[in-house]
Amino acid sequence: MDLPERFNLAAYYLDRNLAEGRADKPCLHVGGESRTYAEIAERSRRVAGALRRAGVRPEERVLILLPDGFEFAEVFFGILRAGAVFAMVNPLLKRKDYEYYLSYSKARVVVAHASVLEELVPAVEQSRLCERVLVVGGEAPGGRFAGYEQALAAVDPEAPEAELEPTVADDLAGWLFTSGSTGQPKACVHTHADFAFNTENYALGVVGYGSSDVCLSVPKLFFGYATGTNLMFPFRVGASAVLFPGRSTADELYDQIAAHRPTLLTSVPTMINHMLRSPRCADADLSSLRICLSAGEALPPHLYAEWKERTGVEILDGIGSAEMFHIYISNHPGDVKLGSLGRLVPGYEAEIVGPDGRQVPDGEPGRLRVRGGSTALCYWADARKSRETFQGEWCTSADVFRRDPEGYFWYEGRADDLMKVSGIWTSPLEIENVLLEHPAVGEACVLGREDEEKLVKPLAVVVLRDGRTGTPALADELKGWVKERLAPHKYPRWIEWRDSLPKNDRGKIARKLLEEELRVR
């Protein structure tokens, strides 16, 4: 990208809308209230001034512990305006989690909602480095805790302390945390240029965001997937976004769609399934939607087909990662290959490599290597893992893919999820997708379990749809269902019934947690 000598994402995403005549256009909707671009820009200037008064210096981390709302946006852009680095964390975590993030990030300033104080206060008391917590939406308890609104009121938004920091494209801008599926979450360190690169190539080049779009997201803004699709990307083109602080449920999504008539829905396969199973699905008016995005976990083909038949709206399934900021392989509008994750986003390259690091032929599975202008610099404070993952411009993922001769990529699962059954590497995802095609199955997770001969065979943990009961007869039926559709060695030898499956804070099935639960039993 040809970026100017001075480049700051607060100007790229937010200030440009004032310069382009959209100062009075509503950009965010929360419940029955809205804020204009001018209002968010003015508040972000106050945030920048408040952070500088609190001692934040350029490229220092500021920890965000906020639910979705106006304050999240103004804090996010205020951090960038001050030249600092945003680090976003789920506001529904526990004390031990906040102790970890405070220690790991070494953030001297935190912006947190009052609802997290019960868990956050003892974590801050244990921290030597956290000096100030600005409290949103409630009273600050004193000491290192101060009121957010009072801090902003003390700042003149036209004063030098509220001005845009003269950063360059390669200055640090944000941390994106991995999901922590194999240990504590790690921070992927990104520059200002990284976020702009993916915005231009994916948001504009593939999805086609426009100024008339109204965006709604299932994932919350602390998750980089949603930070992109429901904040950065709509702001880049002068569109608007709908935010709500509560849990994402099918009922909540239907309510938000009825109230705000979004054109672009950011979702995940689990919620697509919940919306299709909801009693409201048949009568809900979804005609405002022009496109639906899906990522975070593989989208079963039958869900795509059912959603498309019900709504007429394409789902653009894709894959991204904290290491690359956002989606780099995606289905494209008018070019959806059912079951695949689509083709490369313009500006990105990818290879499928074997254990020796060499490319494998099309059709053969291997680990995905990708490069493009949004690759993270490193994992913070983890040189060994950084060297394993980042090799020059390339990022090697733990995801196993195959590419077909036409250039479409097919997800096989994570390298550490594959299991060897009868001497053959087997993808749990393939078995799960077949189970999900059965009319009785709502959710499924397939794991490896040793049999009496200490040989690994598939175990399926199944959540049934409403009204169905798990019985030995139904278990036999599901085993036969898989046998009829896949190679004989892939059918699950055991079926276990669950009322629900554990999820992580991104809404994905927590496979490792389920494995631990089963081992305990």
pLDDT digits (tens, 9 = 90+) for 230-277: 999 999 999 999 999 999 999 999 999 999 999 999 998 889 988 999
All CATH 3.40.50.980 domain ranges in the chain, comma separated: 9-191
The pLDDT, as a whole number, for residue 72 is: 98
The pLDDT, as a whole number, for residue 181 is: 54
* Strand, coil or helix: 446: strand
Backbone angles phi, psi at 329, to 5 degrees: -130, 130
**CA-to-CA dists, residue 246 to 249, 429, 491, angstroms:** 9, 30, 39
Number of alpha carbons in the 13 Å side-chain half-sphere of residue 203:
31
Average pLDDT, the chain: 93
CATH 3.30.830.10 fits 9-191, yes or no: no
The pLDDT, as a whole number, for residue 172 is: 98
Say whether pLDDT at 467 is over 90.
no
Distance CA 475, CA 294 (A): 30
Averaged pLDDT for residues 359-375:
95
Report CA dihedral (389, 394, 398, 404) to the nearest 10 degrees. Answer: -170
CATH 3.30.300.30 fits 419-520, yes or no: yes
For the segment 194-241, what is each residue's pLDDT rounded down to a tens digit?
Answer: 999 999 999 999 999 999 999 999 999 999 999 999 999 999 999 999
The one-letter amino acid at 68: D
C-alpha 37: how far from chain center:
24
Averaged pLDDT for residues 410-430:
78
Residues in the chain: 521
The one-letter amino acid at 250: A
Say whether pLDDT at 500 is over 60.
yes
Distance CA 13, CA 492 (A): 49
Q: Is the pLDDT higher at 26 or at 1?
A: 26
The pLDDT, as a whole number, for residue 9 is: 98
The pLDDT, as a whole number, for residue 349 is: 98
For the segment 387-396, what is each residue's pLDDT rounded down to a tens digit?
Answer: 999 988 899 9
Distance CA 307, CA 313 (A): 7
The pLDDT, as a whole number, for residue 120 is: 98
Helical H segments across 327-450, by residue range:
383-389, 428-436
Distance CA 435, CA 482 (A): 7
* Strand, coil or helix: 225: helix
All CATH 3.30.300.30 domain ranges in the chain, comma separated: 419-520
Averaged pLDDT for residues 134-143:
96
Averaged pLDDT for residues 25-42:
98
Say whether pLDDT at 287 is over 90.
yes
Say whether pLDDT at 79 is over 70.
yes
Answer whether 460's CB lies under 8 Å from 445's CB: yes
Q: Which residue in the block uniquely carries the two structure tokens 């559709």?
A: 485
Strand 145-147 and strand 132-136: the pairing is parallel
Residues forming a β-bridge with 111? 64, 134
436-448 CB burial, b ≥16 within 10 A, e <16: bebebbbbbbbbb
Say whether pLDDT at 183 is over 70.
no
Cα–Cα nearest to 221, from 241, 207, 240, 191: 241
The helix-helix angle for 37-53 and 70-81 (nearest 10°) equals: 60
Say whether pLDDT at 170 is over 60.
yes
